[in-house]
């Protein structure tokens, strides 16, 4: 069953980290910019450079607006990256339903509604997995992931994924290929980042393939790979 966005049931309160005294004139200007950018972006064909450029600009503008709902809780970052891929897939067309309808609310209201639903789903899923788990998982599996790490490789793929893959493959300064697990020069930041980009290889598969414990792999990824991914995302204006 297709979920239907209903702005009347959405929580339109300001996000946890958003001040309540933003000037209305500023908010209106941002909303107008986003609305105009949505219209311009959707004029271009899917997968075109113009469509991807528009999506990138819209993502930056949404970040800048301060209107995105935030909650400092586990799984929020997972839900956030699901929301971004939802934006890229359903902003202009949605074969399975769920396309953004500007007549029913702003794009941020639409995204906040979706974000909250996905956070609820992830919490429920985590409870089910916790009960059915038959082998130990590293604590890293329960922590939040950033936007780059798990964004889905679908037809309307955001440019950030392509840029991240190119950055990891070319390794401009040689840092990714030089940082590795102690005693395992074959398991580098470059290797793990590329293997965890969509379609990501599971930690269990990687542990079996490299004959390395799952906690060791996940711990190295958390301490060495994730900060470098975040730094790259910030340098590109995606975070």
User: What is the per-residue pLDDT across 37-88, written as a single tens digit (0 to 9) for each?
Assistant: 999 999 999 888 899 889 988 998 998 888 999 988 878 888 888 888 888 8
pLDDT value of residue 116: 93
| Residue 182 neighbours by CB under 8 Å, 6+ apart | none
pLDDT tops 90 at residue 27: no
Task: Kindly state the average pLDDT of the residues 144-172.
Answer: 64
pLDDT value of residue 179: 95
How far apart (Å, rounded) are the C-alpha atoms in residues 146 and 151?
9
pLDDT value of residue 34: 92
pLDDT value of residue 6: 61
How far apart (Å, rounded) are the C-alpha atoms in residues 115 and 109?
10
Of the candidate ranges 8-17, 107-116, 160-169, the one whose mean pLDDT is the lowest: 8-17
pLDDT value of residue 175: 93
Q: Is 18 left (phi over 0), alpha (psi -120 to 50) or beta?
A: beta
User: What is the per-residue pLDDT across 166-207, written as a single tens digit (0 to 9) for each?
Assistant: 899 999 889 999 999 999 999 999 999 999 887 678 888 899
How far apart (Å, rounded) are the C-alpha atoms in residues 29 and 106?
13
pTM above 0.75, yes or no: no
User: What is the per-residue pLDDT across 105-123, written as a single tens digit (0 to 9) for each?
Assistant: 999 999 999 999 988 888 8
Q: Are 105 and 5 in contact (CB under 8 A)?
A: yes
pLDDT value of residue 232: 86
Q: Using 50, 70 and 90 to split pLDDT, how confident is the model at 4?
A: low
Which among 51, 168, 42 is positioned nearest to 99, based on CA atoms? 42
pLDDT value of residue 74: 78
Where is 59: in which H helix or E strand? helix 49-65
Q: Are 121 and 28 in contact (CB under 8 A)?
A: no
| Residue 50 neighbours by CB under 8 Å, 6+ apart | 41, 44
Q: Using 50, 70 and 90 to split pLDDT, how confident is the model at 15?
A: very low
Share of the chain above pLDDT 70, in %: 72
């Amino acid at each position: 069953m297709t979920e239907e966005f209903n702005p009347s049931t959405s929580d339109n309160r300001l996000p946890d980290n958003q001040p309540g005294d933003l000037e209305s004139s500023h908010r209106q200007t941002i909303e107008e910019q986003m609305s105009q950018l949505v219209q311009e972006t959707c004029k271009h064909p899917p997968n075109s450079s113009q469509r991807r450029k528009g999506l990138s600009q819209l993502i930056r503008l949404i970040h800048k607006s301060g209107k995105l709902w935030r909650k400092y809780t586990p799984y929020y970052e997972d839900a956030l990256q699901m929301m971004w891929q939802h934006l890229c897939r359903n902003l202009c067309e949605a074969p399975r339903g769920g396309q953004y309808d500007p007549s029913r609310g702003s794009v941020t209201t639409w995204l906040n509604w979706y974000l909250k639903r996905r956070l609820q789903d992830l919490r429920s899923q985590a409870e089910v997995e916790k009960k059915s788990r038959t082998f130990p998982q590293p604590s890293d599996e329960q922590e939040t992931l950033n936007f780059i790490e798990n964004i889905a490789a679908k037809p309307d793929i955001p440019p950030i994924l392509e840029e991240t893959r190119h950055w990891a493959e070319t390794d401009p300064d040689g840092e990714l290929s030089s940082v590795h697990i102690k005693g395992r020069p074959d398991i580098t930041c470059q290797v793990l980042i590329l293997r965890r980009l969509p379609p990501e290889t599971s930690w269990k598969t990687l542990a079996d393939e490299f004959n390395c414990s799952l906690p060791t792999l996940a711990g190295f990824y958390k301490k060495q790979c994730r900060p470098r991914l975040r730094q790259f995302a910030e340098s590109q204006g995606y975070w």
